[in-house]
Amino acid sequence: MAGRERSSRQQRPWSVYRANTFELSSEMIGLALAGNSQDPDEPVLEFSVACTDLVTPALERKPNSFVAVSCTTPPQAFWTKHAQTEIIEGTNNPIFLSSIAFFQDSYINQQTQLKLSVYDVKDRSQGTMYLLGSALFPVKELLQERNHRLHLNLRSAENLHVGSIGVAAWQMEEKRDQRTPMARLPDTVHGRTVLPVDESLTESMGVRAKYASLCRDPLLTSVFGGTMSRMYRFPTTDGNHLRILEQMAESVLSLNIPRQYVKMLLEEDAARVCELEELGELSPCWENLRRQIVAQYQNLILTYQETLSDLNDYRGPSFKASNLKAERKLEFMPTNLHVQRMRVQDESCFDHTYDVVTIGAPAAHCQGFKSSGLRKLIVKFEEAKKHIYEEECSALSSSQSIVFIPQDIVRAKEIIAHINTLKTQVSYYAERLSRAAKDRSANGLERTLAILADKTRQLVTVCDCKLLASAIQALNAARPDYIASKASPSADSEQVVLRNDQDTLLATWSGSNSRSSLHVDWHEEEWEKVWLNVDKSLECIIQRVDKLLQKERRPSVGSQDSVQSDQSAGGGSTASKKGNGRTRAFWINPGCAEPLPSPSSSPSPPSLSSPPPPTSPSSSSMLALTPACPPSPDQDPYGSPSLEETFPGEWSEALYPLLTTLTECVAMMSDKAKKSMVFLLMQDSAPTIAMDLTLQYRRDVVFCQTLTALICGFIIKLRNCLRDDGFLRQLYTIGLLAQFESLLSTYGEELAMLEDMSVGIMDLRNVTFKVTQAMSASAPDMLPVITGNRDGFSVRIPLPGTMFDALPREIQNGMLLRVQPVLFNVGINEQQTLAEKFGDTSLQEIINLESLARLNSYYEQFKEVLPEDCLPRSRSQTCLPELLRFLGQNVHARKNKNVDILWQAAEICRRLNGVRFTSCKSAKDRTAMSVTLEQCLILQHEHGMAPQVFTQALDCMRSEGCRRENTMKNVGCRKYAFNSLQLKAFPKHYRPPDGTFGKVET
């Protein structure tokens, strides 16, 4: 045996047997397989096999052999297949690169019997094979053998000698010379036989790698599950070996995120319907238009309700199989979402981890692709809006109208968002000011007043714009009583003519006695008085607080300065910019002309947050105005004696009426402003509402799938780099780079899928992340939470306390973390050949050029604000600027199936601390070819894997690795969905080994 081993090593110096096997003895430490002391990512037993002098019946033919390993543990009386090696062709002395690993879930012990069966494959494509011979041994024998090597004879079914097989168990090298003697532990624990395990497998691992385990880390186990593992031992150019752990895990987020997302969409659209309903009574034609829009939204809401119910009722696996990608009930779930991990340990015994998120192309498979994908549908939508405008523009040429440009529509959405936020903040700080007054906290009063004043003035600034005044005028003119008062044409002869395109939006009335309802004289000063009332109410509060603080502190230089500062802040309000500092503001009291009650006669309710009485729509043009704050600086507000004199020390009673006035004024102003903006948006959406919502639904489906993948990638990247100060600094400074790789063709349905996918990925620019501390260490408390709406989503990532404490202060303080997504696509299949010869590849070229520009921009941002040492180290001799230049050359080259684009983009992403995503139609076949190729390229370029075994290593991963099992998970067959004719069109490195592909479901 020794002679044969030496001979083999001389012939192949890069053999995996260069490394030492583990030096166990019967006295070594024993660990229970189910115990928590063993890292689940590490095998409890790992060994490699090699055959020598294999004999075949046809002596002139050398065998194509592989080894299948089966096991049985007494009292079990049958054999269970555990694993097999790759097939090595045309040699009598095969040395297999894939090692045989038993993990904790294997449940083996020292009495377990292992059977090694060597097969000769005659035809790989047909799977024709026969058993050459087999050998048996118990686990205990391998462990007790001094060198932990076994040399076994292979016997055929006829008991003939057909060769030999060598078995060598592995250990981690760095501990072999530093082992401390261990006391003998019992062979059984709680009546169960214990397998002696190499202690170095757990002790040698650094804390970071150990706690980033997909199977053990509390954060990752709350998000990922169903982990599959495979082990390999690949030789290096310097005669050492690489120890590779390949893993694949699915994620509970495949279901959790769509549930949250659909629920948010449901709430957002329901709120939109409520906003339309709250516009109040409208004239018959406007009412009819509103009913049509509401009906469209209600149909969409019903669809979301059914989808949410289906997702809540789903009880299947936590990933959507590729054969279910067109299932309507699951259309928001991403297809075949997994994280693919490769952990490499080289001669330095330091772990390097590489993760790729694999996902079927985010696309609306259920809705089909006959009408093309999102990119073209968006263009068609814009053209439809333009066509509607041009078709009827002549009818409006002589009519008066109010014109809203597209920027006004965007501004209207921003105004609604700002009003909602600021109104809530004003109410909150008014409550806090009231509490500070009740507690007689002078400092708290000053601090809270400063914030309240700032938020209130921001709100007034938002509401003081011509767009709002015009929209309020339009809404006021749409009231039935208003039209009647102007002797407008009867409802029978009225009609609404709406036009919009990318440049303008027009809304006008026409009829037999045509008179524009939108250009009637509605005094702008009336709206000005509304927001001036808010401003003056704030000034009254500032003045009252100043008086309270002056009496409390007694006049001093410091307090005089403070008072002057506050008064100047009040004097610098929005009112002053109108050029009339003496403008008198009025409290707008709908429906009555009675003065506000005196503060001394009004009881103090427990809360300020209750809204004012609802305003009748019909009363909006008949507002009674009473002074909000008297103009005389000497007279106390509301004309009553100062309360601090009547009730010494009762600050809260002195401030309460003023705070109530402020909150009610703010509520009225916000309500009126928001309704006018909703009315403006209603006008904008009316002509194309059906097409708009259909397009929006498709976009929602695609974005949900993309968002789920992004969140998975963010979590695993953050966890891996928790102690990487450079990455964390880069994260909160310029954001996270998310690089998507697509292998879709630009022909047929896949062209439309690519359109969907490109829009979904670009929509990720509206996503931000916020890291928080988890409420507890339980898995549900560590699941991400989504907030926001279609204009922008924020994802909250809870971390356990110990992990959260490791973050920099900026992230701990809630800084929003941005995302920069890029997409590079290169079609590689036979359909891409058709596209290149007879079709169109322009979409692929446009996408790659756009992403190249964004990638260059990201790197330029990095260079401006961050040092190079923030980036991970690389053994590559090519610097990042050179890589970007090469990528640019390849993108502009327009070379057919130029996969160099994908390789270079992936390397740039890794070296820029980015997150990698790989997609094809189902993330099962072409994706498997891509991720295995990427793994082998990394091993060769970054870890010195011997180039002589590159092809063998690649075939080994594709035939026996995790991606082969992914095909089984999806379609129940361990074959890639290719045929021989297809593969002739594939680039060489994307072709699987014979026998691993066939005609199966995609």
Helix or strand run (H / E) with residue 799: strand 792-799
Choose among 623, 605, 616: nearest CA to 663.
605
> Are 675 and 279 in contact, with CB atoms under 8 Å apart?
yes
CA quadruple 988, 989, 993, 997: dihedral positive or negative? negative
> 484 and 517 in contact (C-beta within 8 Å)?
no
**Alpha-carbon span 460 to 437, nearest angstrom:** 25
Segment holding 962, helix H or strand E? helix 962-971
- Check if the beta carbon of residue 325 is closer than 8 Å to that of residue 756: no
Q: Are 822 and 737 in contact (CB under 8 A)?
A: yes
- Please report, to the nearest 10 degrees, the dihedral formed by the alpha carbons of residues 128, 134, 139, 141 taken in order: -160
Report the C-alpha gap between 394 and 382 in whole angstroms: 20
Neighbours of 842 (CB within 10 A): 9
* 192 vs 32: CA distance, rounded Å: 8
Number of CB atoms found within 10 A of residue 614's CB = 10
Cα(first)–Cα(last) distance of the chain, in Å?
A: 47
Rounded-to-integer distance, Cα 635 and Cα 637, Å: 6
Distance from C-alpha of 344 to C-alpha of 936, rounded to nearest angstrom: 11
Nearest to 827 by CA among 880, 748, 889: 748
Alpha-carbon distance of 375 to 756, in angstroms, equals 7
User: Hey, is 96 helix, strand or coil?
Assistant: coil
Catalytic residue check, 956: no
Rounded Cα distance between 92 and 59, Å, is 11
| Nearby residues of 661 by Cβ (< 8 Å), 6 or more positions away | 537, 540, 587, 596, 628
d(C-alpha 534, C-alpha 699), whole Å? 40
Residue 397 contacts residue 379 (beta carbons within 8 Å): no
Residues 6+ positions from 380 with CB-CB distance below 8 Å: none
Contact between residue 771 and residue 718 where contact means Cβ atoms under 8 Å apart: yes
| Residue 723 DSSP symbol | T
745 DSSP assignment: -
Q: Give the integer Cα–Cα distance in Å for 411 and 408.
A: 5
Task: Give phi and psi for 120, each to the nearest 5.
Answer: -110, 120
Q: Which two tokens stand for residue 224?
A: 């990922």
Question: Who contacts 855 (Cβ-Cβ below 8 Å, separation ≥6)?
Answer: 737, 739, 822, 884, 887, 905, 908
Of 224, 215, 219, 352, nearest in space to 804 by CA: 219
Question: How far is Cα 497 from Cα 514, in angstroms, rounded to an integer?
Answer: 12
From 51, 721, 870, 920, the catalytic residue: 920
Q: At what angle do helices 880-893 and 842-865 cross, to 10 degrees?
A: 160
Of 46, 389, 353, 4, which Cα lies nearest the Cα of 197? 46
The dihedral region occupied by 477, where left means phi > 0, alpha psi between -120 and 50, and beta the remainder, is alpha
Characterize the bridge pairing of strands 188-189 and 192-193: antiparallel
Alpha-carbon distance of 763 to 761, in angstroms, equals 5
Residue 813 phi/psi, 5-degree rounding, is: -80, 5
Instruction: Indicate which residues carry an active-site annotation.
Output: 920
